[in-house]
Amino acid sequence: MELANVFLITMWSGGRPAKKWKSLTQPEMLPNGTGVRFVNMSSKLSVDVIGSISVEQFEEGSELLEKEANTIEVGNNRHG
């Protein structure tokens, strides 16, 4: 059984993680190059994030992903 890839998208503010999301598909660069677009794994909605963003790729079920998932906050998302 092959494990799925999960992408962890982090928005940064002041050098600290401000908000995190998970996606099953690789985020796309926005046309203006200032952010990314992805489908949020939990809400299934398309999200556009602009600003200081990092994207990490994990295998589903990895210890690092589980650790990061525990720090994901629920908040307002900008849906596009």
Q: For residue 73, is pLDDT > 80?
A: no
Question: What's the pLDDT tens digit per position in 37-68?
Answer: 999 999 999 999 999 999 999 887 666 555 55
Whole-angstrom distance, CA of residue 60 vs CA of residue 76:
25
Residue 79 lies in a domain: no
Q: If pLDDT is split at 50, 70 and 90, which confidence band does 16 have?
A: very high
What range defines the domain where residue 49 resides?
5-69
Residue 74 lies in a domain: no
Q: What is the pTM of this model?
A: 0.73
What does the pLDDT read at residue 25? 94
Residue 59 lies in a domain: yes
Whether 48 and 68 have beta carbons less than 8 Å apart is answered as no
The number of distinct structural domains making up the chain is: 1
Instruction: Average the pLDDT over 15-39 and give the result.
Output: 95
Q: If pLDDT is split at 50, 70 and 90, which confidence band does 2 have?
A: low
What does the pLDDT read at residue 75? 37
